[in-house]
Amino acid sequence: MSEALALSVPQQASSVAVDALPRILRQTLEAALFEGLLDYIVVPARETASTWDTLYFSLGNADYTCPGRVRGFGRIRLQLAELTRIQPVARRPELEEVLRQLLACLPGDAERKQALTRELNQTRIWCQWNARELPPLAVRRELPLVALEGALREGHPYHPCFKARIGLSEADYQRYSPEAAGPVRPHWIAVPRERVLGAGAAQDPDTFAFRELGPALFQALRARCRARGVDPEQRVFVPVHPWQWQHRIVPRTQGFRPLLVDLGQPGDDYRVSQSMRTLMNDSRPERGDLKLPLDIVLTSSRRHLLSHGIDSGPVLSDWLAETVAGDVFFQQQPLVILREYAGLRVEETGLLSPSEPGICQLGALWRESLPSRLAPGERAVPAQALALMESDGKPFIDPWVNAYGLEPWLTRLFDILILPVWHLLARHGIALEAHGQNLLLVHRDGWPQWLAARDFHESVEYVENFLATPDAAPAFRRQARYADARPNEYYWMDSVEALRELVMDTLFVFQLSELAALCETHYRLPEPRFWKLVRACLARYAGGGHCDPARLRALGYRAPMVQVESLLRKKLCGVQPEYHHRVFNPLSEIARKEA
């Protein structure tokens, strides 16, 4: 293994007491074992008092042992502090040495391993930057949603590159990361009217801008146009993230007639969300969130916007909102669709140097904000926060568990968190990417009340012959953009299995499994009991007459083995759009009998 694959960290950060390397190695090892990239042997715990088994695995010529558990859906949990190299002599290994050995054993070519190493290195650096430069977190349970988004510093609990921000300098990180950034204002760019395409409420850009921005900002932008010798009647005002303007747009205008006019950064202050490309209005929280292209890599995913998503987001949002509004089930188990209600997309040819086809570098989506929907006494938290620990040494959910009891609270949580997403899938045939950032739990004094869902422009899936009302679905296939599209390329899939996998992966495998681990560690709730409560929730739904039993059987969610996405293998191999592996299903009939 070349030295280039060794993790490094700046000298100024090396003295920081908090080092993310143990977590980085743990999550990389756990992902590799979970996805079958490494073989392992499990030896059950011999002492009844111990709940940790022993895992044995090899990295090249080195053999290791580590206390661990094989949890629901085959998820691996390791106690890395007890990692031991057992050959040729038992000893505690150097963690950087282990990581180098691990990277050497993983599949993928040198280029992809270099990319992974770079993201792991960035994760370590930014974690140490946070520890060095940011004040310690206070307890976050009472924070309003906009502030809470920036205070969730932990990052993804599964991805090894949970803090990668490829493309940001230290100054950028300080200005634009959700952890460190203060208020952010977008640049407003006057774009020739004929080069802008509007979607949803922005099909008439002037009417939309007047209503969305308010008369004062709208007139101020028109005045700035005139001051720069530009006729505002011939322009549309498009917001751009300040990082994107400086690093992606301005450099691409070189050699072109200056048709993009920067009107500065007037208007409201925004706060950076966890996704970084979405800005939440801090001056007026009831106003819409602003989703802007940001050409960086965050947790292994580029933060740009796809051109088709800007055009189709409002259509998908309206379809989802109408589906929910027309179904009385959602009066019992409320689901609020935070619609992407407007989009602007700039035709870049002739304005900017060529970019990747299908990628929008200059455009915007507006999304409904949640604070405008909250009643007095209600608070909202991203679902991922439910499995986090607080600075007081207790789980985020601890006051709620103490107030209501663990199992009554979990039962209520599952009804509110699972059933709306499940009904949309089972009854209507529509799958949401229901991960912990996209689902927002609304509670009153910790008691779950209702669910909100967001981010549909790139991730809603359906199978046409599994839709309950196919005529109500967007007619994408009749649009020129999608005329030659194949199933699995955009929103329509070729199998119901793909829908099941999307929902179960995001809701159960990579989200609720984290809460299961927390409940076992801090409340001594055995994980099989946790999944029994989830099965009971789904059984109540199945017995409630809400959905044709044949549709539930078609989902195959009770099969002994299910397919899940292999996120690390995809990053390392990347030839196919997706990679998968099969795992034991704790929601299956076999799991029920064993419990």
Give the pLDDT score at 298.
87
Region 343-365 average pLDDT? 88
Domain termination site, one of 54, 84, 110: 110
316 lies in some domain: no
In 10 A of CB 443, how many CB atoms? 19
Please indicate, yes or no, whether residues 169 and 257 belong to a single structural domain of this protein: yes
Task: Please compute, for residue 340, the number of CA atoms within 13 A of its CA located in the half-sphere on the CB side.
Answer: 27
Same domain membership, residue 223 and residue 87: no
Is 408 within the bounds of a domain?
yes
Residue whose token pair is 């709730």: 525
Task: State whether 270 and 134 are in the same domain.
Answer: yes
Residue 92 belongs to domain with CATH number: 3.30.310.280
CA gap 537, 386 in Å, rounded: 18
Which residue spans within 174-287 are E strands per DSSP?
187-192, 196-200, 235-240, 261-262, 270-272, 278-281
Q: What is the 3-state secondary structure (H, E, C) of 372-407?
A: HHCCCCCEEEEHHHHHCECCCCCECCHHHHHHHCHH
- Distance from C-alpha of 272 to C-alpha of 544, rounded to nearest angstrom: 41
Reported as a pLDDT band with limits 50, 70 and 90, residue 245 is very high
pLDDT at 6: 46
Q: Between β-strands 359-360 and 430-431, what pairing exists: parallel, antiparallel or unpaired?
A: unpaired
Model confidence at 565, in pLDDT bands (50, 70, 90)?
Answer: very high
What share of the chain in percent tops pLDDT 90?
A: 83
Please state, in angstroms and rounded to a whole number, the distance separating the CA atoms of residues 181 and 212: 25
18 pLDDT exceeds 70?
Answer: no
The CA distance from 325 to 328, in Å, is: 8
Evaluate whether residue 581 is within a structural domain.
Answer: no
- In a domain? residue 386: yes
User: Same structural domain for residues 42 and 135?
Assistant: no
273, 140: one domain? yes
Q: Strand, coil or helix: what is 157?
A: coil
What's the number of domains the chain is made of? 3
Distance between CA atoms of residues 383 and 208, nearest Å: 32
Q: Give the pLDDT confidence score for residue 17 in this predicted structure.
A: 43
DSSP state of 344: E
Residue 78: domain span: 20-110
**Res. 159: pLDDT tops 90:** yes
Does 586 map to a domain?
no
Same domain, 57 and 129: no
453: left (phi over 0), alpha (psi -120 to 50) or beta: beta
Residue 5, pLDDT > 90, answer no
Residues 34 and 180 in one domain: no
Residue 355 pLDDT > 80, yes or no?
no
Q: Can you say whether residue 466 is alpha, beta or left, with left for phi > 0 and alpha for psi between -120 and 50 degrees?
A: alpha
- Whichever domain contains 391, its CATH number is 1.10.510.40
Identify which has the larger pLDDT, 134 or 47.
134
d(CA 44, CA 104): 29
**Does the structure show a pLDDT above 60 at 12?**
no
Same domain? For 69 and 163 the reply is no
Region of poorest pLDDT, from 53-62, 340-349, 350-359, 375-384: 350-359
Over residues 493-527, the pLDDT tens digits come to 999 999 999 999 999 999 999 999 999 999 999 99
Q: What is the pLDDT of residue 181?
A: 80
Strand-pairing partners, residue 462, are: 430, 492
Q: For residues 167 and 164, what is the distance between their CA atoms, to the nearest angstrom?
A: 9
Evaluate whether residue 313 is within a structural domain: no
Residues 142 and 42 in one domain: no
The H-or-E segment that residue 53 falls in is strand 53-59
Lowest mean pLDDT among 8-22, 212-226, 319-333, 340-354: 8-22
Please compute the mean of the pLDDT values over residues 523-550 and round it to a whole number.
97
- Answer yes or no: do 105 and 164 share one domain: no
Indicate the SS3 state at residue 67: strand
pLDDT range class, residue 16, cuts 50, 70, 90: very low
Q: Could you tell me if 496 and 400 lie in one domain? A: yes
Q: What pLDDT, on the 0 to 100 scale, is given for residue 477?
A: 82
Lowest mean pLDDT among 184-188, 506-510, 571-575, 583-587: 571-575
Q: Which of 63, 81, 110 is the last residue of a domain?
A: 110
Same domain, 246 and 291: yes
Structural domain includes residue 317: no
CA angle 460, 30, 394 (to 5 degrees): 85
- Residue 470 in any domain: the answer is yes
